[in-house]
Amino acid sequence: MIESLERFLQCEWPVFCPGQRPPRRVRLAMLSSSRERDGTRVLLAFGDGWAEPAMVARIPRQPSGASRLEREWRLLQQVWASLPEGVAHAVPEPLCRTTVRGMPVFVQRALRGRNLKTLIQRGQRAVSRKRLEQDLAQMEGWLAGFQQARLPDRDPPGLVIPRLPGLEARLRASETAFVRARLVSRRDTGRLVARARALDTAFASRPLSWVHGDLWPGNIMEHGRRWGVIDWDSVAIGPSWLDRVWFAVHIAALDYARNTGNPDLRVALRRVLFDDHPFTQAVRRYLEAVFAPGRESGVTHRDALLVLLACHAAEVLAGRETRRVFALAAPELLRCWMDGASSVRI
């Protein structure tokens, strides 16, 4: 399959690199392989060097991953076509899609840089409250532009763009599972649903936007002072605050883990959410600003985090989010929050 793909890319080189002479032979190098619940995606780098590949070919290693890859290709096309000029550099440009031996392959422009999560974990990047505040401000600036992207008037033929349901609907769908798992009591589940309803109401008047869906440092490429965002298979239309909360909590946990020398991100998430740590204070200030529109309805950043934890705990119970650290930690975090709600400072 790899040889067939190399021949295809050789023939189509002018499409990818207009004005450049094609090499004598296009050679592919494995960039990474990520295991998904419905198959394995393989990233193959090619172009003018493996350290800084010009393009990336994405292929499913198993047939079960083909439909997800096809969906990602079509969603990325929709997002790319709608982006404002100032933020397009941070999103990989989709170049072409083909089929090789019955398997879909799509090629996208590579984003230069190094993975932000890897830089933090290896100590190749400063970790401090000031740096965390700078990172939150940088992501806020990019999201403010990204969420100005046009939303389609209707779904294109053959593609259903996901719409994220309201938090109340997500919780009500899992209310029975919560109680059976003894995660929370029936009374506490009612409290969570009430808070979710208040959140939905507070932000109902704000326009929906594109939501990346998995915006954490593992999907950020840092190149100098610029960031690029990869892995667009979870993109959807939904409330603008979801990406902000997801990124803020995860980068604070990574910084905390590096700062303390404890690599367990589940422990770091618990400490960042519950302790009066400088990183907690930075996240709290940021999220207070994010949720300022809901203050008149009594909605706080604490309500948002509590409900988001509950939603991810529900996804863990349903077996849909077994890979993500935040989802794995959610049941424990939610239980701690409910057990010690009076002492939680965030």
Q: Same domain for 104 and 122?
A: no
Is residue 5 a part of any domain in this protein?
A: no
Q: Please report the sign of the dihedral spanned by the C-alpha atoms of residue 242, residue 243, residue 244, residue 249.
A: positive
> Do the domain assignments include residue 7?
no
**CATH code: domain of residue 36:** 3.30.200.20
Residue 3 in domain: no
Distance of alpha carbon 168 from alpha carbon 198, whole angstroms: 9
Residue 157 and residue 210 share a domain: yes
pLDDT at position 274: 76
Both 256 and 297 in a single domain?
yes
Residue in the structure block whose two tokens are 């719409």: 163
Answer yes or no: do 97 and 137 share one domain: no
Domain end, chosen from 109, 137, 163, is at 109
Q: Are residues 301 and 242 in the same domain?
A: yes
Query: Rounded to the nearest 5°, which phi and psi values hold at 63?
Result: -55, -30
Tell whether 138 and 56 lie within a shared domain: no
Q: Which of 109, 129, 152 is the last residue of a domain?
A: 109
In this prediction, residue 40 carries a pLDDT of: 44
Residue 326 lies in a domain: yes
Same domain, 318 and 181: yes
Residue 174 shares a structural domain with residue 29: no
155 and 196 share a domain?
yes
| Residue 281 lies inside a defined structural domain of this protein | yes
Q: What is the pLDDT of residue 342?
A: 40
- Tell me if 4 is assigned to some domain: no
pLDDT at 43: 55
On whether residue 244 sits in a domain, the answer given is yes
- Pick the closest to residue 6 from 61, 60, 57, 73 (CA basis): 57
What's the token pair of residue 92? 């990989």
Helix (H) or strand (E) holding 139: helix 129-146
**Domain for residue 346, yes or no?**
no
10-residue stretch averages of pLDDT, the chain, 346 residues long? 68 65 63 50 52 70 80 91 89 85 81 90 91 95 92 87 86 72 75 86 86 92 90 89 91 91 83 81 89 75 82 73 67 74 44
What is the C-alpha separation between 78 and 72, in angstroms, rounded? Answer: 10
Of 70, 90, 109, which residue sits at a domain end? 109
Q: Give the start-end residues of each E strand in 111-179.
A: 114-115
Q: How many domains does the chain have?
A: 2
Residues 99 and 211 occupy one common structural domain: no
Domain that holds residue 214: 114-339
Question: Cβ distance 272 to 284 under 8 Å?
Answer: no
Residue in this structure with the two tokens 């399959």, named with its chain if needed: 1
- CATH no. for residue 270? 3.90.1200
Q: Are residues 63 and 211 in the same domain?
A: no
Tell me: do 129 and 259 sit in the same domain.
Answer: yes
